[in-house]
Amino acid sequence: MTPPESTVAPTLTAPESDVETVRPPARGPLATFAKYTKIFRVSLIERMTYRGDFLFGTILRFLPIVTTILLWKAIYESSGQTELGGFRYREMIAYLLLTNISRMFSSMPGLAGGIAREVREGTLKRYLIQPLDLVGFLLASRVAHKVAYITMSFLPYALLFYLCRGYFDAFPDAPTLAAYALSLVLSFLVGFFFEVSVGMVGFWFLEVTSLLYIVMTLNFFISGHMLPLDLLPQPWSGLLKILPFQYMAYFPAVVFLGKVKGWELVLHLGLELLWAVGFLALGRTLYRAGLKRYSAYGG
């Protein structure tokens, strides 16, 4: 006897057209590029939310420039010389203005400390359970940060350089300008991967705030941001020009001023690229070694 229709158990099998096909995540270079491009877009939207802060902060950074100009004027007048370390007074002011552009690209505030904090608090594990690479994510986010900052600070810096145009002898020619732009891009990569490498020490030390402060303060001086490396006596000047830190401030500035030309310029651009690759390899090596001792506490 056939049971009543109402007592027949309903089928649990959906029609074939309604069954969702679970597809594996896309892989390959194009898929990876698309993923980090989306991260860049989201980070850029987030950074542009604080565009007013970028603009106001840029204007406040101009205040010490007035003091710097007056200070170096007094130094040249008291020395009784028209040239110090191969820099005339006008070239010195132009150099110090240009180092602000260099540091705009190469400085990475909060990057190393952020990595160490993620390790200490255990939030690093999100990069281990999701299809995200820590270094790739930070790179995309930092590029977005730089784009937002440079976009918002372009007009104030353009006004500053226009007002200070008397300190520059002439605008560089096209090849020099192209080399200058390339040196800035490479300075960003050197600065980024250097800070990534420094941040990885958080796998071995619980608190790295003091260490980071010492490293960053020292970097500010030996990169040539405070004064040209040529003013230092030998062998210190030559030694610092061998190290990678000059590419974060000193080198792009002297390229713009035309003090590095020809094959010497090509050689230094190649060395700058090698330092960027070297810090990339160092950061990756420290990251893999650190993961072996990472316990994912906290978070």
CB 45 within 8 A of CB 140: no
Give the separation between CA 145 and CA 136, rounded to whole angstroms: 14
Q: Is residue 101 part of a domain?
A: yes
For residue 38, tell me if it sits in a domain: yes
Q: Is residue 24 part of a domain?
A: no
In a domain, 17, yes or no: no
Going by C-alpha positions, the residue among 194, 213, 206 that lies closest to residue 117 is: 206
Question: Are the beta carbons of 164 and 97 closer than 8 angstroms?
Answer: yes
Eight-class DSSP state of 299: -
Q: Is residue 23 part of a domain?
A: no
Q: Domain of 155?
A: 29-291
Asked if residues 111 and 283 have their Cβ atoms less than 8 Å apart, the reply is no
Q: Write the CA distances from 174 to 12, 82, 101, 243, integer angstroms.
A: 71, 29, 18, 28
With bands split at pLDDT 50, 70 and 90, how would you rate the model's confidence at 295?
A: confident
Per-residue model confidence as pLDDT tens digits over 33-48? 888 888 888 888 887 7
Our count of domains for the chain comes to 1
Phi, psi of 13 (to 5 degrees): -90, 120
pTM of the model: 0.85
pLDDT tens string 218-268: 998 999 998 899 999 889 888 999 999 999 999 999 999 999 999 999 999
Q: What is the pLDDT of residues 104-150, one digit of tens each?
A: 999 998 899 999 999 988 888 888 888 889 999 999 999 999 998 88
Distance of alpha carbon 118 from its chain centroid, rounded?
A: 19
Identify the pLDDT of residue 297: 59
Asked if residue 7 belongs to a domain, the reply is no
Instruction: Please indicate, yes or no, if residue 67 is contained in any of the structural domains.
Output: yes
The answer to whether residue 299 sits within a structural domain is no
